[in-house]
Amino acid sequence: MIDEIPLGVVILDTDRRIVLLNRSFEALTGFSRDEAAGIPCYHMLRSRICIKGCPALNIPEDSEPACVESDLINRDRMLVPVRINIASLHSPSGKLTGFLETLEDLRPLRELDAKISHAFSFANLIGRSPQMEKIFQILPVLAQSDSSMLITGETGTGKDMVAEAVHQASSRAKGSFVKVNCGALPETLLESELFGHQKGAFTGAVASKPGRFRLAHNGTLYLTEIGDLPLSLQVKLLTFFDDQVVYPLGGTKGFQANVRIIAATHRNLEQMVREGRFREDLLFRLNVVRIHLPPLREREGDSRLLIDYFLNDLTSRFRKNIKGFSKKALSILMNYLYPGNVRELKNIIEYAVNICQEGQIKPHHLPTYLAEARPWGKDTDTVKEHVSLSVQSDPNEQKLLETEHTWAAMERKMIMDALVKAGGRRSKTAELLGWGRSTLWRKVKQYGID
Amino acid sequence: MPLYGNDVAPRFDLATEVMITNRDDYSDGREEKIVVLSQASAEQLCHLILAEGIDVVICSGIEEEYYQFLTWKKVQVLDSVIGPWQMVLERFLKDRLKPGDILY
């Protein structure tokens, strides 16, 4: 039966000599089971980790299996990238009896990677702007490192996607990717969720719970909305960074967790540190590698690319026959600011694709609030000004700014200007405006000009 | 012969110790010297082999690229040889060592 397993499988004794292996292992290494029986594993496997430090030597008692990416040289003198999982085997009395090792050939995956990775994307992230290109170049490098990572950016910029993509591109890809939203749970629950608890640790703890740190062992723990993490848990997280040991609630025995931490937030952590709402030392530990995802309005040319990408993607997914956008619809989409960034853009296109029953998306297929938000136009300065205002100013100020751009406000201003020019004489003012006296009277009353 | 402890090194490119010997007058005064490399590198090892004028390389795992290079430089390569290096050397000196021999 062991021969039917598509992974190379080998069973070793306590001296790491080969006891049993399967057909896939023979195919991968080129050594037959007769040749390999009783030979130290490193002579058959010929992997880099055999020389650099065999994981079997470092598996602590009660530990989870180790997973490492490495390479081997087979009998055909080929260097083969492999993923090696190694677990210790114990007798019912708990005595070490040997090791079980699995080998996965990564060549097909690497070939696929080479095919799908092109300059303007990383995993599911797409962009052509210089800001994104810089990020695409650096992400694969950062993925290979094991340092903790902090991802910042506005909502909808793709923080979750980056975190998952980094995990998938890292040597921990075979391990689990565990996501915890630090803002979603109350403090007490979050502590038990993150670090686990022992049976009887508190009322209702009827069974022991492993906690997300333990679940993410050999993988990546993604802490999203880290800015919302309560101060007491920040301290606990800090101690994990120092000694990599997790103590479950009510437990005395720690667990050595091999976890890479990726944290993300849309908040300004430096400012939170200044306000005393975030620990400075935790920020320093998280801030080893920092990626800032730019908002869509700062990504030159990416709006068009993403609009077309989502249209193609969604039309094929919803089986719609939509060729593209009308000029007017496209201009509305291009001039919109997207405060919700890529997520909002995707939702807008999804809405339009669902609503549209014709071959082309027209303005009336777009959500109505887009048309209302149009006056900002293409001028980047105006866009920036609006964004900074909408982010920083209070709502009343913003309202005032918006009213200046309505027709009523313009008309009122016109009447005032004409009245000033005519020295306050109504008949002259009406003449200047090209209106009848009664129209002017009505408008003056309407706008409360006296 | 690249070494890993008492054995022939499993990987040519990762060996940091090499045993060099001559077989012309092995019956009396055959000299064995062990060279420790500053770092593991297949290129550095190939350079050493050529600089020392080595005729035969006995190793285990070696990449095709380096195997072909050494063969092209007229160096005989006996690869996939597994076992304690003393035993392997003994067999070689008796002209009985072949590529792929496992001496355990």
Which tokens go with A342? 């890529």
Q: Is the pLDDT of residue B26 over 70?
A: no
Q: Which residues of A touch B80 (CB under 8 A)?
A: 75
Which tokens go with A285? 């530990």
What separation, in Å, do the N-terminal and C-terminal C-alpha atoms of chain A show? 96
In this prediction, the residues of chain A whose per-residue pLDDT falls under 70 are: 59-63, 111-121, 123, 373-405, 450
A46, A51, A78 ranked by CB distance to B64: nearest: A78
Going by the DSSP 8-state scheme, the letter that residue A163 receives in this structure is H
Q: What span, in angstroms and rounded, lies between the C-alpha atoms of A307 and A305? A: 6
| Averaged confidence pLDDT in chain A | 83
Q: Which residues of A touch B104 (CB under 8 A)?
A: 38-39
Q: Which residues of B touch A78 (CB under 8 A)?
A: 63-64
pLDDT for the residue numbered A150: 93
pLDDT for the residue numbered A115: 52
Beta strands in chain B (DSSP E): 2-4, 7-8, 17-21, 32-36, 56-58, 76-78
Q: Do B10 and A43 touch (CB under 8 A)?
A: yes
Domain ranges of chain A: 2-110, 117-293, 297-373, 406-450
Read off the amino acid at residue A146.
D
Q: What span, in angstroms and rounded, lies between the C-alpha atoms of A255 and A246? A: 5
- Region A297-373: CATH code: 1.10.8.60
Chain B contacts to A (CB-CB under 8 A): 4, 7, 9-14, 40, 60-64, 67, 79-80, 82, 100, 102, 104
Q: Do B62 and A46 touch (CB under 8 A)?
A: no
pLDDT for the residue numbered A117: 52
Phi, psi of A438 (to 5 degrees): -65, -35
Q: Do B4 and A72 touch (CB under 8 A)?
A: no
Q: Which chain A residues in 65-94 lie under 8 Å from chain B, judged by CB atoms?
A: 72-79
Does residue A345 contact residue A330 with C-beta atoms inside 8 Å? Answer: no
CA distance A39 to chain B (A): 7
pLDDT for the residue numbered A343: 92
pTM higher than the cut 0.90: no
Q: Write down the CATH superfamily of domain A117-293.
A: P-loop containing nucleotide triphosphate hydrolases (3.40.50.300)
Report the pLDDT averaged over residues B42-66.
93
CA distance A196 to chain B (A): 42
In three-state form (DSSP H/G/I as H, E/B as E, the rest C), the secondary structure along A302-350 is HHHHHHHHHHHHHHHHHCCCCCEECHHHHHHHHHCCCCCHHHHHHHHHH
Domain A2-110 has CATH 3.30.450.20: yes
3-state secondary structure (DSSP) of residue A156: coil
Distant-in-sequence, close-in-space partners of B47: CB < 8 Å, separation ≥ 6: none
**Enclosing H/E stretch for A139:** helix A130-144
A45, A48, A76 ranked by CB distance to B14: nearest: A48
3-state secondary structure (DSSP) of residue A395: helix
CA B45 vs. chain centroid, Å, equals 10
pLDDT for the residue numbered A392: 38
Does residue A222 contact residue A165 with C-beta atoms inside 8 Å? Answer: no
Band (B12; pLDDT cuts 50, 70, 90): very high
pLDDT for the residue numbered A405: 56
Instruction: Set out the domains of chain B in order of their start, with CATH numbers.
Output: 2-93 (3.30.420.130)
CA distance B61 to chain A (A): 6
Predicted ipTM beyond 0.90: yes
For A406-450, CATH number out of 2.60.120, 1.10.10, 3.30.2010, 3.30.700 equals 1.10.10
Q: Which residues of A touch B12 (CB under 8 A)?
A: 73
Instruction: Choose the weakest-confidence range: A101-105, B22-26, B40-44.
Output: B22-26
Q: Do A39 and B14 touch (CB under 8 A)?
A: no
pLDDT for the residue numbered A215: 87
CA distance A74 to chain B (A): 7
**Enclosing H/E stretch for A235:** helix A231-243
